[in-house]
Structure 1
Amino acid sequence: MPDAPSPLALNADLHCHSVVSDGTLTPEELAARAAGNGVQLWALTDHDEVGGQHRAAAAAHAQGMRYLTGVEISVTFCEQTVHIVGLGFDADDAAMTQGLYDTRGGRGKRAQEMAEQLARVGIHGAYEGALKFVGNPELISRTHFARFLVERGHCRDTSEVFRKYLTEGKPGYVPHRWATLKDAVHWIRGAGGMAVIAHPGRYAFSANEEYALFTEFKGHGGEGVEVVTGSHSPAEFIEYADKAREYGLAASRGSDFHSPDESHCDLGRLPPLPNGLQPVWELLADRIR
């Protein structure tokens, strides 16, 4: 008999966004795209919002895919925004739903301040313009402002917008204090799920700060880290595979897909996890639907 395929080879995409947060496709459109690209196990991980979960699960099953519930929670850590992905939780858990609602609460005021800063450099109507790209007004974000600035011709693409306007020290950047690392991990675990550090290669941490992130995350009960993700380079796949082994964390894989026109990587188009890792989906086998 032929050997069973390695669980590392499973085409799992456990990080992407729909119009429920800052993506441009509906959960149903994402499911169809994922299935068309050969995804076998899928999770929708909208920012600070689980309102699309039941739609996503139904769409996944209609496309013949297995599904894990998902969310990406914004956290303030060492004065930076860090994202924690939750997988395999109860999407109707009251404590998580309330915590996410509270986290979303500051986005509207922040968006108004961003628009005021942009107006000072001659870009008017940014708040109203950004709202045109928002599926859920509670989740207005920098990405929506970036799409407006591209539409108006201020920049060629959203990457240029972030370089010129929406990062620290530039007009339009307004920091926001999100949930704590402890909050995010405890909401996820309390709802029966697994907490995963999202795209760790994106954070501009010193070695000591990254050590603090990983050790505190694990101390709160975090169990996984994204190793293969759309914003990691091949060298970072190796680096964070080593981190997963060092800290005894399971490894996750996800494109962080937002839009066909904006994303680094399409759904389901990532390489497999490196050898010698435990995939998160092995630990979540009883929560896959």
Structure 2
Amino acid sequence: MLSDNSIYAVNADLHCHSTVSDGTLSPADIAVRAKSNGVDLWALTDHDEVSGIPVARSVAHDLGMQYITGVEISITWAGKTIHIVGLDFDETNANLVQGLAKTRSGRERRAQDMAADLLNKTGIPDTYRGALKYVGNPDLISRSHFARYLVEIGACENVSDAFKHFLAEGKPGFVPHRWATLSEAVGWIRGAGGLPVVAHPGRYDLTPLALDAFFLEFKSLGGVAIETVTGSHSIDQYDEYTKVAQRYGFLASRGSDFHSPIDMDVDIGKLVSLPRLVKPVWEKWLSS
């Protein structure tokens, strides 16, 4: 078996997005970027979609990089949108595929409502058509695509600015959407043989009491891990959520949440290592 030193030295990036959802690079191009940045173990985790997996896996293997199947599922819990990453599952599992298709449904209608809200409240026209330039499939249109268009037309300096001023909850352009339930998402992942992981838990606007309730429910349903070191956390939150993983007995995952070479906080493969206080979720995937 690998030693502890070897396990923690693995450059695992288990959270990133391609043009299949709201990223700007193709699955093949992200694989190349990951390899060039020293990634040893990689998962492509597009939003509510697994169609990029075959290409991602093929290119990763050609490059000599170990690949794990991945997806990021949007759920609604206590009125908030939360993301659950699934890792190491059978992407052809019928219940998973059907569940993801159900979750994607409604994105196009929401996007049209977002465009109407932006026009009515800010006077910015044609944002739906503009956002479509950044996505191939209207079923996968998201706030990130709107954000890129707002940057393109000069309404915002960058994607983060677009979310802050136009697309976050309470801002013009934000339209809530009813996603999958926590039970459904965890059930689809587990039913396909995978491991459910809470994505970037530090991002959610939940009270400590609500977060505790969420983690307990997640664990009771079969959730096994949380992201502790992620590009969507601040450095202080690395330590905070390492302690959370210890408290609830979760494994720890690591991922850049990479979307684009532009407007990114952390490049793929460039995160700090996991603290040795937690057990990496990837330990079981590493060959002896």
Alignment of structure 1 residues 154-165 onto 2, 5 Å: 154-165=155-166
Aligned partner of 2:110: which letter? R
* CA deviation map 1:202-260 (0-9, x unaligned): 01110111001100000000001001000112211111111111111110000000000
Aligned partner of 1:10: which letter? V
1:76 corresponding residue in structure 2? 76
- 2:47 is equivalent to residue 66 of structure 1: no
* CA deviation map 1:240-281 (0-9, x unaligned): 111111111110000000000022100100000001211111
1:119 corresponding residue in structure 2? 119
- Distance in 2 between residues matched to 1:212 and 1:285, nearest whole Å: 33
Alignment of structure 1 residues 100-249 onto 2, 5 Å: 100-120=100-120, 121-249=122-250
What SS class does the counterpart of residue 271 from structure 1 fall into?
coil
CA contact 2:90–2:194 (8 Å) conserved in 1: yes
1:88 corresponding residue in structure 2? 88
Alignment of structure 1 residues 51-62 onto 2, 5 Å: 51-62=51-62
* CA deviation map 1:102-149 (0-9, x unaligned): 000010110010000111121111111000000332110000001111
1:11 corresponding residue in structure 2? 11
CA contact 2:107–2:138 (8 Å) conserved in 1: no
Q: CA deviation at 1:169?
A: 1.6
- Distance in 2 between residues matched to 1:270 and 1:190, nearest whole Å: 31
CA contact 1:22–1:135 (8 Å) conserved in 2: no
- 2:270 is equivalent to residue 269 of structure 1: yes
- Distance in 2 between residues matched to 1:212 and 1:109, nearest whole Å: 32
Q: TM-score, normalization: structure 2? A: 0.96
* CA deviation map 1:141-195 (0-9, x unaligned): 0000011111111111111111111112211110001000000000000000000
CA contact 2:47–2:74 (8 Å) conserved in 1: yes
CA contact 1:244–1:277 (8 Å) conserved in 2: yes
The Cα RMSD (Å) is 1.1
Aligned partner of 2:270: which letter? R
Stretches of structure 2 lacking an aligned partner (at least 5 in a row): none
Aligned partner of 2:281: which letter? V
Count, aligned residues: 284
Q: CA deviation at 1:4?
A: 7.0
- Distance in 2 between residues matched to 1:190 and 1:232, nearest whole Å: 29
What SS class does the counterpart of residue 30 from structure 1 fall into?
helix
